[in-house]
Structure 1
Amino acid sequence: MPESDARWHAGRVNEPPPTRQWRVPAGLPAAKLAGAVLLVALGLLLADGDPVRLVVAALAAAALAGWAVRDLVAPVRLTVATAGLTVIHGFAGRRLLPWSAVEAITVDRRPRLGLTSETLEIDAGDSLHLFGRYDLGSTPEEVAAALRAARPNP
């Protein structure tokens, strides 16, 4: 628990500790929507009367816009509380994972094209939940450390 949270909770025996959330950065949906508009504009400019190019640009723009809508509808991807973790499930649903169901919290690092990508992995036995930096608004390593610190001792 961060020091400020510990001070807030000090002396409040009957109150649950505050929850912590990780969410999509605020500017990301706007960037995705701007990219969708740019794709449509490029499709119109470069189609040269070819309907296939225009349809491909429109489909790519629709996919990007759908991705942005998900970020707007369900910006909170992960929440930690005393009861367990709440993760995003499906397009915009939520699923509570009690601490007893969480088997492992790890960070997977993979070098790719000269860059290293990090993914937070939450293994809940029958399901695996993956989160990247842009899902959390923070590095997966920082979030993993916070989750491990919040987990009650068995």
Structure 2
Amino acid sequence: MAWAITLLLLAGTVWLAIEGDLGGTVLTVLAMVASGALAAHSTLLRPRLAAGPEGLLVRTVGGSHRFSWTEARLRLRTTRRLGRDSTTLEIESGDHLLVFGRIDLGEDPRDVLDVLVALKGQALS
């Protein structure tokens, strides 16, 4: 979706440049760069979270991080913003706190937590 928006903004930028609208061109270029950066981030860091028998693998801008099941603490956090409840999955390990929302996970964080707890239980038993 972000790539499609970036392409539409590129077309808008070209059109505004041809029309000679300097202000509009600058604004659409800025929007296009922001949308392109978001699209690249989403594409390059997929999957953000992977789980297996040995633990968790988390991909961030700073690189990949591995956490064993014994050191990873999992929990849900629900906050209310702009009149809407938002649920996130928090993974804490040592000095790392990683927060994943629905967009990061591609699923409801509650469902992901259920799967992770089941995997953790199997791995530790």
Q: TM-score range by the shorter chain?
A: 0.7 to 0.9
* Bigger relative contact order (CA 8 A; separation at least 6): 1
1:127 aligns with one of 67, 86, 96: 96
Secondary structure of 1:76's partner? coil
Q: Could you give the per-residue CA deviations for residues 29-76 of structure 1, whole angstroms, max 9, x where no partner exists?
A: xx1011122334445566874534422321221121122123223321
Distance 1:115 1:44, change over 3 A: farther
Kindly report structure 1 stretches of 4+ aligned residues shifted beyond 6 Å. Answer: none
- Which moved further from structure 2: 139-148 or 111-120? 111-120
Question: 2:40 maps to what in 1?
Answer: 69
Structure 2 gap segments, 5+ residues each: none
Distance 1:123 1:52 in 2: 45
Measured on the aligned residues, the alpha-carbon RMSD in Å equals 2.4
Matches within 5 A, 1:46-125: 49-90=20-61, 93-102=63-72, 104-125=73-94
Deviation at 1:137, TM superposition (A): 1.4
Distance 1:153 1:106 in 2: 18
User: Identity across aligned pairs (percent)?
Assistant: 34
The residue identity in structure 1 corresponding to 2:56 is L
Structure 1 gap segments, 5+ residues each: 1-30
Q: Could you give the per-residue CA deviations for residues 59-118 of structure 1, whole angstroms, max 9, x where no partner exists?
A: 221121122123223321111112110001216x3211122321x211111122232211
Secondary structure of 2:31's partner? helix
Distance 1:138 1:51, change over 3 A: same
Give the structure-2-normalised TM-score: 0.80
